[in-house]
Structure 1
Amino acid sequence: MSASGPNNSAPSAVVFAYHNVGVRLLKVLIDAGVQIRLVVTHADNPNETIWFGSVAQVAAEHGLPCITPEAADTPELLAQLQALAPDYLFSFYYRYMLPQAVLEVPRCGAYNLHGSLLPRYRGRAPVNWAVVRGEREIGATLHVMNAKPDHGAIVDQQAVPILSNDTAREVFDKVTLAAELVLARCLPGLLAGTAVLQTQQHIAGQYFGRRTPEDGRIPATATAWQTHNRVRGVAPPDYPGAFFEADGHRVQIDRTLWAGAPGPAEPDAGTLQADSSLALLVQDGRLLLRGADGVLLPVLAARLDGSALDAARFQSLYPGQALAPRD
């Protein structure tokens, strides 16, 4: 219940939530008068860069009971949920898979908010993968939860654009707003039992796994557009950054700039230059990345073995030379 007291006639819910999406959508439920019987979230990992809001803090501010179990499939948690007997269960960027027994607890169904336009980009880190792959659109989808991840029928969804120079963090901020719009728009119908659900038409090859720091590695065969997408898809400080190794050093590319029309995600083989590979160089006083297609990409921020690298420093270390990845 909230600090203002229970409304026994209001629909009740248990909310599994984390991250900025969890913060905003928990607030949507509170604002709509849903009786929150329990909030389940995660304890922050001290080894992770925490750049997002705290679900636990929102719960505390509103006087909501909140727990941080280390697993979602324990008999103790299941028993606790069964005793609460909620009408609904919501999952908003909660990181653990919820077992079928938990999904069967709510009387009126279990629903998840996923940060993509399902059925595209099911699975983990949809925003990062969409940016890395050069997508021009993503969004947020509320869907029915079942045993398979991001698999159930769609309640509602909202698209947002991905601009050519958007970083993953900037896109995630858009997805967070899209998620809030989706839930606020469809919640009245969902609670009234009048929402019209749409069966997902699943697409092969659209399930993505967990992102790792190694996914930031820029291959020597990457075109300029592919390189730019990888850089902005894992851009620091929120993510570990894109990199390659050359001449015994680690070159990290933190920001690049794309001008003009976006390139194709998978260029024709004829656009690649047989004698060319990705390379970092200086031309006309500017630090540039040359893609395997020969296109030059301005580098706005880079590091060499952790220290800032600009055109002047690169020129002093590698006069008239270029650094290329070692595969």
Structure 2
Amino acid sequence: MKVALFGIHKLLSDSLAVLEEQQILPRVVIFPPFKSQFHKICENICERNNIPFLRPESVKDPEFIRRLQNFAINRIIVAGYHQIFPAKLLILANMGALNCHGGLLPEERGPIPWKWAVYNNRSFSGITIHQMTDKVDQGKIYHKEKIILSEGETSESLFNKISLNISRCLPLFLKLTELSEFIEEDPKVKVGYNGQVPEELCQFDLLQNVLELDRRVRAFSPRPGVIFQMGGGKILVKKVKAISDSLHNGKWVFDAADGRIEINEYETV
């Protein structure tokens, strides 16, 4: 089977590392042209294994689709991507187009489900491998795995777990020729959707309670980033701690709506 593997950043580099180790290699790899330490790893893996790679500005570009068509692929697998795939691209895969979603479908639809899982204090999240259609985050579900959130989980630590789980199960779908078995959706599960983070949730606003500020920082920093404006400047808040000791003081201890909070890690922006 000839697989076109699309991906971005750590999701793609982790997946390629596992595929290289098992020598289950895609026919061609596609990732965006912007610089990233993870994209450099992807380049190195492709070059070591003589895997062609393409770096289009847009997956909708007719010239890119024409070039991909020349590889005579059977399947498309997407390990994270930042663009919506057009029907003209999906139909190249006569053995199916699959997306590796970093959340549990259908309840965790949207582009950044791991961030919302942390913000919403979910006890678990997970991964879903599903059929790609012209409707985002829909199509038949072929595989799901739950991931338990630890106490104090951040979106970065959860994303690392998601990346590990996706890379571990990906080889199966480069070998599995038939996609006849799929998971029937439970009608009791509520379909949800969360998009990008609204600007107001990226503010370190001391009018909010301590729990809310902690959730924002764990979920949305360092990207897109929770910003605290103080003294005419701005800092990116990266880690905080609730303070119960009334005698605990310091430059980075502040009064929130219902208690005190300390900024433990930050950077100037």
TM class, shorter-chain normalised?
A: 0.7 to 0.9
Q: Distance in 1 between matches of 2:30 and 2:164?
A: 22
Q: What is the aligned partner in structure 1 of residue 178 from structure 2?
A: 193
Alignment pair present for 1:41 and 2:6: no
Checking the alignment, whether the CA contact within 8 Å between 2:13 and 2:38 is kept in structure 1 is no
Q: Distance in 2 between matches of 1:149 and 1:285?
A: 49
Instruction: Count the aligned residue pairs.
Output: 264
Alignment pair present for 1:22 and 2:12: yes
Checking the alignment, whether the CA contact within 8 Å between 1:152 and 1:199 is kept in structure 2 is no
Q: What is the aligned partner in structure 1 of residue 211 from structure 2?
A: 225
Structure 1 runs not aligned, ≥5 long: 1-10, 261-281, 308-327
Q: What is the aligned partner in structure 1 of residue 238 from structure 2?
A: 254
Equivalent position amino acid for 2:28 in 1: L
Q: Return the match for 1:150 from 112, 137, 143.
A: 137
Q: Distance in 1 between matches of 2:92 and 2:219?
A: 37
Q: Distance in 2 between matches of 1:168 and 1:132?
A: 9
Q: What is the aligned partner in structure 1 of residue 93 from structure 2?
A: 106
Q: Distance in 2 between matches of 1:283 and 1:127?
A: 36
Checking the alignment, whether the CA contact within 8 Å between 2:142 and 2:179 is kept in structure 1 is no
The verdict on how the C-alpha distance between 1:290 and 1:165 changes in structure 2, with shifts beyond 3 A counting, is farther
Checking the alignment, whether the CA contact within 8 Å between 1:140 and 1:182 is kept in structure 2 is no
The percent identity for this pair of structures is 22
- Kindly state the Cα deviation for residue 30 of structure 1 after the two structures are TM-superposed: 4.6
- Asked which structure has the greater CA Rg, the reply is 1
Equivalent position amino acid for 2:7 in 1: A
Checking the alignment, whether the CA contact within 8 Å between 2:218 and 2:239 is kept in structure 1 is yes
Checking the alignment, whether the CA contact within 8 Å between 2:15 and 2:168 is kept in structure 1 is no
Checking the alignment, whether the CA contact within 8 Å between 1:243 and 1:252 is kept in structure 2 is yes
The verdict on how the C-alpha distance between 1:76 and 1:250 changes in structure 2, with shifts beyond 3 A counting, is closer
Equivalent position amino acid for 1:301 in 2: E
Alignment pair present for 1:288 and 2:253: yes
Q: Distance in 1 between matches of 2:228 and 2:4?
A: 45
Equivalent position amino acid for 2:182 in 1: L
Alignment of 1:1-327 (within 5 A): 11-31=1-21, 33-34=23-24, 36-45=26-35, 50=36, 52=38, 54-184=41-171, 186-187=172-173, 191-193=176-178, 196-200=181-185, 203-204=190-191, 206-211=192-197, 215-236=201-222, 239=223, 241-245=225-229, 248-250=232-234, 252-257=236-241, 283-286=247-250, 287-292=252-257, 294-302=258-266, 306=268
- Kindly state the Cα deviation for residue 56 of structure 1 after the two structures are TM-superposed: 2.6
- Kindly state the Cα deviation for residue 288 of structure 1 after the two structures are TM-superposed: 3.3
CA RMSD of aligned residues (A): 3.0
TM-score (norm 2): 0.83
Which digits, 9 at most, give the CA deviation of each residue in 1:104-162, with x for residues without a partner?
11121000111111223322222222222322322221111111121121111222222
Checking the alignment, whether the CA contact within 8 Å between 1:232 and 1:255 is kept in structure 2 is yes
Which digits, 9 at most, give the CA deviation of each residue in 1:73-130, with x for residues without a partner?
1222222233322121111112221111111111210001111112233222222222
The verdict on how the C-alpha distance between 1:30 and 1:213 changes in structure 2, with shifts beyond 3 A counting, is farther
Which structure has the higher relative contact order (CA within 8 Å, separation 6+)? 2
Checking the alignment, whether the CA contact within 8 Å between 2:8 and 2:32 is kept in structure 1 is yes
TM-score (norm 1): 0.70
